[in-house]
A and B are shown apart, each in its own frame.
Chain A
Amino acid sequence: MKARVFVTLKPSVFDPQGHTIVEALHSLGYRDVADVRQGKFFEIDLNVAGPAAAEKLAAEVADRVLANPVIESFRVELT
């Protein structure tokens, strides 16, 4: 099974990279881009049977390693 994990800064945490990107987009004339939040994306191969086990394992490694729960939140998608 494969899983995708998306890690982003929590909404309450200022994202200096996203802020810089949106400012650059505005200077290019993309005035309709209201905000950008930069994050991380992981593709994970899992040697487990069944989507439930895959989701559980992906969420566990995301919580323990891939994301820092103090500043980040994550979302798991199975593919």
Chain B
Amino acid sequence: MTFAVVVFPGSNCDHDAYYAVDHVLGQKARFVWHKDTSLGAADVVILPGGFSHGDYLRTGAIARFSPIMPAVQEFAAAGRPVLGICNGFQILTECGLLPGAMLRNRDLKFHCELVNVRVERTDTPFTGLCTAGQVLRLPIAHGEGNYYAPPETMDALEASGRVVFRYSTAAGEISEGANPNGALHNIAGICNEGRNVVGLMPHPERACESAVGSADGLVLLESVTGALAHQGALQAVAR
């Protein structure tokens, strides 16, 4: 299985994603430069964290016009799995693959810490091996992760079960105190209508080995690997 990790100028978690896929998960990872127009062989696309184009104008605002983005849009439209982490999530909202936008953190501080994130939905390719309500310990590192969407979009997200992750306490309670950035409804991650495009502010790829403080993020990569293997087996039977 091949994971394409898109590299933008200013990406800084591209190597973390590559390492997590290649060294920990044991699957193949490939870097794809943002100026390429094709993803090449890819089963999963990761838009990594970082500060693409220096966060000029708005986070993700310039990256969304990168030459690679039409190929990412096409990949997503075909129902194939796309994961946007942190800046990757910001790029997904800017390019319209996911709704909403990111505001500055409510306290204007850059938050770099381990937080608790409750898995709300297991019906996405990246959370299939989680249990609903499972609390993951994941790092965040962002100044603009304060998720906002207009009320009608928030209603639609909640009604269609598209909030995938929420900031919570260690016991899984959703509270203001557990919300590091002021995100509406404690949203840490969402998915698109097709459920194949997932964006989240926390960094699962930086939490794949207990030596770095948490291995809770690995389940996202294992989930998508399992989902694709299952899909492949079904297709083989159909043939």
A and B: interacting chains: yes
| Residues of chain A having any CB pair with chain B under 8 Å | 9, 12-14, 16-17, 20, 65-66, 68, 70-71
B108's partner among A12, A20, A65, A70 (CB-CB below 8 A) is A20
Q: Tell me the complex Cα distance, A68–B59, Å.
A: 11
Contact (Cβ within 8 A) B149 A16: no
- Bound complex: CA of A10 vs CA of B106, how far in Å? 16
B182 to chain A, nearest CB (A): 7
Interface residues on B, range: 20 to 34
Nearest CB in chain B to that of A40: its residue: B57
Report which of B61, B107, B108, B146 forms a contact with A68, defined as CB distance below 8 A.
Answer: B61
| Known pairs A65-B61, A68-B61, A71-B148; A14 contacts B101 (CB<8 A) | no
Most buried by A among B100, B149, B150: B150
Closest Cβ of chain A: how far from B145's Cβ, in Å?
12
Q: Chain A residues with Cβ under 8 A from B157's Cβ?
A: none
Contact with A along B60-78 (1 / 0, CB 8 A): 0100010000000000000
- Cα distance, A63 to B104, chains bound together (Å): 21
Check if A71 sits within 8 Å of B101, measured CB to CB: yes
Smallest beta-carbon distance A12→chain B, Å: 8
The answer to whether A14 touches B103, judged by C-beta atoms less than 8 angstroms apart, is: yes
Q: Known contacts A65-B57, A65-B61, A68-B61; is A16 also within 8 Å of B100 by CB?
A: no
A68, B104: Cβ atoms closer than 8 Å: no
Q: How far is the CA of A16 from the CA of B109 in the complex (A)?
A: 10
Q: A13 touching B107 by the CB < 8 A rule?
A: no
B205 interfacial by beta-carbon distance below 8 Å: no
Given A14-B106, A16-B107, A68 contacting B148 (CB threshold 8 A)? no
Residues of B within 8 A of A71 (CB): 101, 103, 148
Please name the residue on chain B nearest to A71 by beta carbon. Answer: B101
List of A residues within 8 angstroms of B105 by Cβ: 16
Task: Choose from A9, A17, A20, A70 the contact partner of B149 (Cβ within 8 Å).
Answer: A70
Give CA–CA (A13, B147) in the complex, Å: 11
In the assembly, what is the distance between CA of A17 and CA of B101, in Å?
16
Contact with A along B139-159 (1 / 0, CB 8 A): 000000010111000000000
Q: Which residues of B are found within 8 Å of A9, using beta-carbon distances? A: 103
Question: Contacts of B103 on A, CB cut-off 8 Å?
Answer: 9, 13-14, 16, 71
Chain A nearest Cβ from B236, distance in angstroms: 42
Pairs A-B, 9 closest by C-beta atoms? A70-B101, A71-B101, A16-B104, A16-B106, A68-B101, A16-B108, A20-B108, A68-B58, A71-B148
